Amino acid sequence: MIRIDSVTKRYPDGTVAVDRLSLDIPDRAITVLVGPSGCGKTTTLRMINRMVEPTEGTILLDGADLQQQPVTTLRRSMGYVIQNAGLFQHRTILDNIATVPRMLGWGRQKSRDRAAELMERVGLDASLGKRYPYQLSGGQQQRVGVARALAADPPVLLMDEPFSAVDPVVRKGLQDELLRIQGELGKTIVFVTHDIDEAIKLGTMVAVMRTGGRLAQFAPPAELLSDPVDDFVEDFLGADRGIRRLSFFPSAGLELTTGPVVRLDATAEQLAAPDAPYLLVTDADGRPLGWAEPRDLTAGDIVPRRLLSYGRPFVPGTDSLRAALDCAVLSPTGWAVAVDADGRVAGVVSQQAIGEAIRTAHGTGGTGDAGTGEAQTGDEQTGDAQTGDAQVAGSADVTKVAP
């Protein structure tokens, strides 16, 4: 949809902010520009809506040269969100969000209705509409910034470090919200950050830029993690690449066993039946209570609080292999507990079995035994999970599931 073709930006003082950059930004997906300070991210973003004009090269929008399009029309088709939201301090939240519709000549009531609808969409309570920006938290202000950019329903959203000024917890919430909104509305989003974890979490495609405004690598996040092109990209990605890459493999294909699972009211025969070093005890509804060695369990007298913790269970189909591995590593028995969406035990899986699934997944790029692909399309996914749009990237043969 947006094609950046060999674009260079040289500022009047001679600074080369962007150097022969070429990028094909896919439609209806999130493309992240990431790189160290001063590498030309903001300049690139601003060239897309012509706040900055390229010195050389062309940018095409749906095949048409941006230079041929009136700036006003162009800006209306592109929402822009910046750090600290950049809200108008003297206008209420509702009026901030209604800015562009009002500019477009929508009536006052229609604009306000639209603003109210958007507040709900970005997770803001309607009661905040009458406040002024200084009466909101930083995270709430960022949500207003996103709502304002969405107000005229532009197909493209340009976002320049929109979440970098808020604390990690609020930031995670905003990221999840953006993924959800993108899944629902299918916007084409170009997102600038210098945080590689944010890039990996949000990006369908990630462009790593280096100082001097040059592109180091343009790839889906899983590919960046598995195959960084050079030392710069590898250093920039940081530690634990292998573990982090597991977030892209679904856990749905793990083979679960219910052999060692017993209920709190199990009989002596039932307790004796499994040939396992540990048994997982559940309540009458099948919810996990904890682990114990068989010899420590007496039929009719199992005391839940004496059981070993079962740790945090994972949900196959929603969670990734990384989540499953984490469960196994944190489990006192080395076995991970899988539960269904209602929290009932679906089975257990050993660290060793997860290890084998990981080897298979790495060998097949995530489409083998460990990944049935089910986790790739589920509309039911929320939170960290990315929707099927991730496949827009074409070369991405794996996609995100909840880390």
Ligand X SMILES: Nc1ncnc2c1ncn2[C@@H]1O[C@H](COP(=O)(O)OP(=O)(O)OP(=O)(O)O)[C@@H](O)[C@H]1O
**Which residues fall within 8 angstroms of residue 349, CB to CB, at 6 or more apart?**
254, 255, 256, 257, 324, 328, 335, 336, 338
Q: What is the x/- site pattern for ligand X, positions 3-32, by CB under 6 A? A: --------x-x-x-x---------------
Pick one of 112, 148, 171, 194: the residue that binds ligand X (CB under 6 A). 194
Give the count of beta carbons closer than 10 Å to the beta carbon of residue 176. 18
Gap between the Cα atoms of 80 and 190, Å rounded: 10
75 to 48, 104, 201, 283: CA distances (angstroms): 9, 12, 27, 58
Complete DSSP assignment for 186-240: --EEEEEES-HHHHHHH-SEEEEEETTTEEEEEE-HHHHHH--SSHHHHHHH-S-
Q: Which is nearer to ligand X, 15 or 298 (CB)?
A: 15
Which listed range, 39-47, 243-251, 285-293, 310-318, lies at the site for ligand X (CB under 6 A)? Answer: 39-47
42 lines the binding site for ligand X (CB under 6 A): yes
Q: Which is nearer to ligand X, 83 or 372 (CB)?
A: 83
User: Cβ 360 to Mg ion, closest distance in Å?
Assistant: 41
Give the count of beta carbons closer than 10 Å to the beta carbon of residue 301. 6
Of the candidates 33, 322, 48, which has an alpha carbon nearest to the alpha carbon of residue 195?
A: 33
User: Cβ 208 to ligand X, closest distance in Å?
Assistant: 12
User: Cβ 103 to Mg ion, closest distance in Å?
Assistant: 26
Q: Which is nearer to Mg ion, 31 or 42 (CB)?
A: 42
User: Cβ 292 to ligand X, closest distance in Å?
Assistant: 53
Q: Which residue has the tokens 């090269």?
A: 57
41 lines the binding site for ligand X (CB under 6 A): yes
User: Cβ 233 to ligand X, closest distance in Å?
Assistant: 16
- Interface contacts to Mg ion, rule CB under 5 A: 42
- DSSP letter at 319 equals B
With CB under 5 to 8 Å by kind, the binding choice for 11 among ligand X, Mg ion, none is ligand X
Q: Which is nearer to ligand X, 187 or 194 (CB)?
A: 194
Pick one of 5, 38, 55, 77: the residue that binds ligand X (CB under 6 A). 38
Residue ranges that bind ligand X, judged by CB under 6 A: 11, 13, 15, 17, 37-43, 194
